[in-house]
Copies of this chain bind each other. A is one copy, B any other.
Amino acid sequence: MKSIPLILMGCGGVGRQLLQHIVSCRDIHALNYGVRLRVVGVADSKSLLSVPDIFTTELDDHSVDEICRLKSNGSSLSSLTSYGDYQVFSNSETITNITEVASHLVRSTGLAVVDCSASSDTIGILQKVAEMNGCIVLANKKPLTSSMEDYDKLVLHPRRLRHESTVGAGLPVIMSINRLLSSGDTIHRIVGSLSDPRDDLGGMDVARKALIVARLLGQRLELDSIKVESLYPAEMGPNAMSVEDFLANGVSQLDNSLADRVEKAASNGNVLRYVCVIEGSRCEVGIQELPKNSALGRLRGSDNVLEVYSRCYSEQPLIIQGAGAGNDTTAAGVLADILDLQDLFT
């Protein structure tokens, strides 16, 4: 049986779901791949809980349940000053110990460090892991949308980095783009509806996703250079208008100003969609007029859609569509990424 040691950073909804998926998939992974995922450490923003012997032991299924219960109640791992045979490190010790555990494991058995947090604080650890030639799996968008300097350090060994769940949750977006690139296809244009605007009226979440895709295509861009059209004007922003005022008066003003644009688009046979467009050196997020009859134009509800135009998909785009959010789907994408790294472990 091939053993893949894992350190998980981030015990929010996605991280906890991942731990539960790992436990429930043990039989499938053993039977289909001869692989066992061995969780050797779990960290939240303050603390690291690690197994007594990182080379032979693992977080048992009962402890996984306990940790998930603790975290879903809003407690910190640091509330466990001790827990069974496990070691608990807090505050400044946390980063030192993750790096130390990683260094030992990368040199011996190999290691995957999985980042399901939503924090920028993990970037330093991840860069060290990349430098050591360890594997990295991200659901966290922040490390990939920091400066180009940080980005370059992270993608040092591209085959050891997976991040499907940073764009469109478990949808096979990153992997499909990577396949087109490795087959020498030329990607002309990507248009995507990659977030639910109800959660992201300011557009920053979709801007991060757009940046991740643009950098994958070779654009050397910084986040603040992406043109983002917010769905609300500055005078309705969180610093200028209260939530109550925004809901009572702001939203109806937005509806009025958009109604004109909707009508104008309709007169061209088009509809408005809030999308990212990546084309040549262009990377933008905003409202676009799109053909009513395209996959994006027909989009209803909360699905994500990506249209890729390339040499191979020139007349009609390659379309990937489906649920692009949710802890279950996001964690499933992370787990598929981990399994896809199995050939790098012995």
What 1/0 mask marks residues of chain A from 162 to 194 whose CB sits below 8 Å from any chain B CB?
001000001110011001111111000000000
Please give the distance in Å from A50's CB to the nearest CB on chain B: 25
A304-346 with Cβ < 8 A to chain B: 311-313, 315-323, 326, 328-329, 332-333, 335-336, 339-340, 342-344
Q: Which B residue's beta carbon lies closest to that of A185?
A: B332
Contact A183 B336 (CB under 8 A): yes
A281 within 8 A of B: no
Which residue of B is nearest A341, CB measured? Answer: B343
Chain B: minimal CB distance from A346 (Å): 11
Indicate which residue in B159, B311, B319, B339 contacts A183 across the interface (CB closer than 8 Å): B339
Residues of B with C-beta under 8 A to A170: 179, 183, 312
Is A55 an interface residue when CB atoms closer than 8 A count as contact? no
Q: Is the CB of A33 within 8 A of B183?
A: no
Closest CB in chain B relative to A169 CB, distance in Å: 9
| Partner of A28 from B184, B298, B322, B328 at Cβ < 8 Å | B184
A72 partner residues in chain B, CB cutoff 8 A: none
A-B CB proximity, top 5 nearest:
A25-B184, A183-B332, A179-B336, A318-B322, A343-B343
Of the residues B33, B184, B315, B319, contact of A335 by C-beta under 8 Å: B184
Given A175-B175, A301-B316, A319-B321, A340 and B182 touching (CB < 8 A)?
A: yes
**Residue interface mask A14-55, B partner, CB < 8 A = 1:** 000000010011001100110000000000000000000000
- Tally of this chain's copies: 2
Interface range, A side: 35 or more
Q: Are A183 and B322 in contact (CB under 8 A)?
A: no
Do the beta carbons of B328 and A322 come within 8 Å of each other?
A: no
A332 surroundings in chain B (CB, below 8 A): 180, 183-185, 312
CA distance in complex: A316, B323 (Å): 7
The reply on A124 being an interface residue by CB < 8 A is no
Q: Is the CB of A316 within 8 A of B322?
A: yes
* Interface CB pairs A-B, < 8 A, 11: A28-B181, A179-B333, A182-B336, A183-B335, A301-B316, A312-B328, A313-B329, A316-B321, A317-B322, A319-B320, A319-B321
Q: Which residue of B172, B311, B313, B326 contacts A179 across the interface (Cβ within 8 Å)?
A: B172
Task: State which of B313, B315, B343 has its C-beta within 8 Å of the C-beta of A159.
Answer: B343
The answer on a CB contact under 8 Å between B318 and A321 is yes
- Report the bound CA distance from A198 to B176 in whole Å: 28
In the assembly, what is the distance between CA of A90 and CA of B170, in Å?
Answer: 48
**Which residues in B have their C-beta under 8 angstroms from that of A183?**
21, 25, 170, 332-333, 335-336, 339
Kindly list chain B residues whose C-beta atoms are within 8 Å of the C-beta of A185: 332
Known: A28-B184, A184-B332, A312-B332. 19 other contacts (CB 8 A): A21-B183, A25-B183, A28-B182, A32-B181, A32-B182, A170-B312, A172-B176, A183-B332, A185-B332, A301-B316, A311-B328, A312-B328, A316-B321, A317-B322, A318-B321, A318-B322, A319-B320, A320-B320, A343-B344
